[in-house]
Amino acid sequence: MTTTDKTIAEILATRIAGVAYDRLPDPVRHWAKVAIIDTVGCTLAGAAEPCAQIAGKVAAIAGATGSCVVFGTARRVGPMDAASINGTAAHALDYDDCSDTLGGHPSAPILPALFALAETRPVNGRDFIAAYVAGWETETRIARGVNFHHYEKGWHPTATLGVFGAAAACSKLLGLSVENTARALALATTFSSGVKANFGTMTKPLHVGQSARNGLYAALLASEGFTASTDAIEHRQGFLRLFNGDGHFNVEPIVAEWGAPWDIADPGVSIKQYPCCGSTHPAIDAMLMLVRENDLTPETVAKIESQTHPRRFAHTNRPDPRGALDAKFSVQYCLARALISRQVLIEHFEDGRYDEPGVRAVLARVTSSAWPDRPMDLSEHFGADVTVTLTDGRVLTRSVPRPLGRGPTIPLPPELLRGKFIDCARRALSPAVANRLFGLLDGLETVNRISALTAATVPDTRLAAE
């Protein structure tokens, strides 16, 4: 299966062990910090969501206690419970970062596990960044070998592949040997799970919480000498064949050398502008351009039509959203909201806003379809065409090939990144605490102990009163 006598897990483990902060290129360090900042913000915003609250409640019923912070609260639990609760919160709003390679959300499965682990021992910011990059590169290297068949088959790569990223990152932070890191990756094959049938429900973010927890669990088990078959990825009854099937995976991209390029920088991390499914974002960008350029209002619009790639259309064609999470995947609702509110914000997916009479009136005028004759394996599949027919008969169109923030070639400007973070963090923290936390994250490489940073995610009544 490989070009050497080593298994895939052993090859990846060697790559993981070789990651060092001092040898990472500046763009890799930069984008790692951007992703970490964004994920912490999203986790704080998601902490109050019902899925995260229920996950925390169940942990409390089970008697969970410990020293690890539940972000945005004063609670502390054990590391695996913290990874699970914070992981669920990180993806609760579907606002966290994306990866074209992964076909999902790369940071949310990794960082809650890393933060929980880092709170149990002395860890500085530089080592934390290196471990995070090792996790990112591991999950995206496996993704290169299995996507997009893996995604189209119905697996949720954020979870099924994210568990490998969490296991790799935690193994790196623990300083595990190559042998034990390979065992952690082998354990991850057993813990890998998550099906797309649960999109639009609380179970989707739960996938992430479980991946974070299980990746940490795999690394901790391996650190104590727990055994696993290190050929579990390529074995005839292993991950690749069971999840993808013969003829639907390629080993070579998985075992290729790292750093040529580093995936986190090329194609890189994508930061979301809007708190909803990333597949709706190019259509939202197009709609907002038309709204602002032509001063459109619901009264002046007769019809809205959206076209996207078949892969994106498949899970965003939801003309009648029946819940907040469902609305996040409804391109029809997102376009109606963009017209009505001239922006798309977190609060637009709360308190039944998708069911407002004015929204329902506009939804009846929105249609969506897939681009005809576009192959499913098209390399550029993140665009959208939006056509608006006005009540006076005029027709306006706008095409967006790739939304702002979808990768380092069209990055979200720094002021928008900071604005998004503060908007997210203020849902759990006072403005003073949120700004202090942003400063710590922005200078992460200078932080001496990660536990000082996680402590800043706890609401501070003294600072809130200032």
pLDDT band at 374, cuts 50/70/90? low
Residue 4 confidence (pLDDT):
66
- 199 by Cβ neighbours in 10 Å (0-12 / 13-18 / 19+) ranks as middle
Who's near 224: CB < 8 A, 6+ residues apart? none
Q: How far is CA 378 from CA 148, 265, 309, 374, 443, in A?
A: 10, 21, 9, 7, 39
In order of their start, the domains of the chain are: 8-270 (1.10.4100.10), 278-400 (3.30.1330.120)
pLDDT for position 461: 46
Q: Is residue 2 over pLDDT 60?
A: no
Is pLDDT of 465 > 80?
no
In angstroms, the CA 105 to CA 97 distance is 6
Mean pLDDT (the chain) is 94
Look up tokens 């056509």; give the residue: 387
Q: What pLDDT shows up at residue 255?
A: 97
| pLDDT at residue 381, as a whole number | 76
Please determine, for residue 335, whether its predicted confidence score (pLDDT) is greater than 80: yes
pLDDT at 67: 92
**pLDDT higher than threshold 80 for residue 253:** yes
Is a pLDDT exceeding 50 seen at residue 184? Answer: yes
Per-residue pLDDT of 290-334, as tens digits, reads 999 999 999 999 999 999 998 889 889 999 999 888 899 899 999
Question: Measuring CA to CA, how many Å separate 279 from each of 20, 250, 271, 327, 384?
Answer: 34, 26, 13, 13, 9
Alpha-helix runs per DSSP H in 411-465: 414-425, 431-442, 450-455, 461-465
Confidence of residue 463 (pLDDT cuts 50, 70, 90): very low
What does the pLDDT look like over 3-36, one tens digit per residue? 568 999 999 999 999 999 999 999 999 999 999 9
For the cut 80, the answer to whether the pLDDT of residue 377 exceeds it is: no
The pLDDT tens digits for 192-206 are 999 999 987 899 999
> Which structure tokens are listed for 31?
């984008």
Residues 6+ apart with CB under 8 A from 316: 277, 279, 280, 308, 329, 330, 331, 368
**pLDDT over 60 (residue 376):** no
The predicted model gives 161-188 an average pLDDT of 98
Residue 367 near residue 305, CB atoms below 8 Å: yes
pLDDT class for 464, splitting at 50, 70, 90?
Answer: very low
pLDDT attached to residue 466: 33
Calculate what percentage of the chain has a pLDDT beyond 90: 89
**Distance, CA of 57 to CA of 63 (rounded, Å):** 10
Mean pLDDT of 427-439: 95
Percentage of the chain surpassing pLDDT 70?
A: 96
pLDDT of residue 372: 86
Residue 397 sits at φ, ψ, to 5 deg, of -135, 150
What pLDDT score was predicted for residue 200?
A: 78
Q: Which residues contact 385 (CB under 8 A, 6 or more apart)?
A: 286, 306, 307, 308, 371, 397, 398, 399
Closest CA to 442 of 431, 453, 432, 451: 453
Query: For residue 269, which phi and psi values (nearest 5 degrees)?
Result: -85, 140
**Residue 462's pLDDT is what?**
43
Question: Which band of pLDDT confidence, cut at 50, 70 and 90, is reported for residue 238?
Answer: very high
Q: What is the DSSP string of 199-265?
A: TTSTHHHHHHHHHHHHHHHHHHHHHTT----TTTTTSTTSHHHHHT-TTS--HHHHHSPSSTT-TII
Question: In this model, does residue 220 exceed pLDDT 70?
Answer: yes
pLDDT value at residue 314: 87
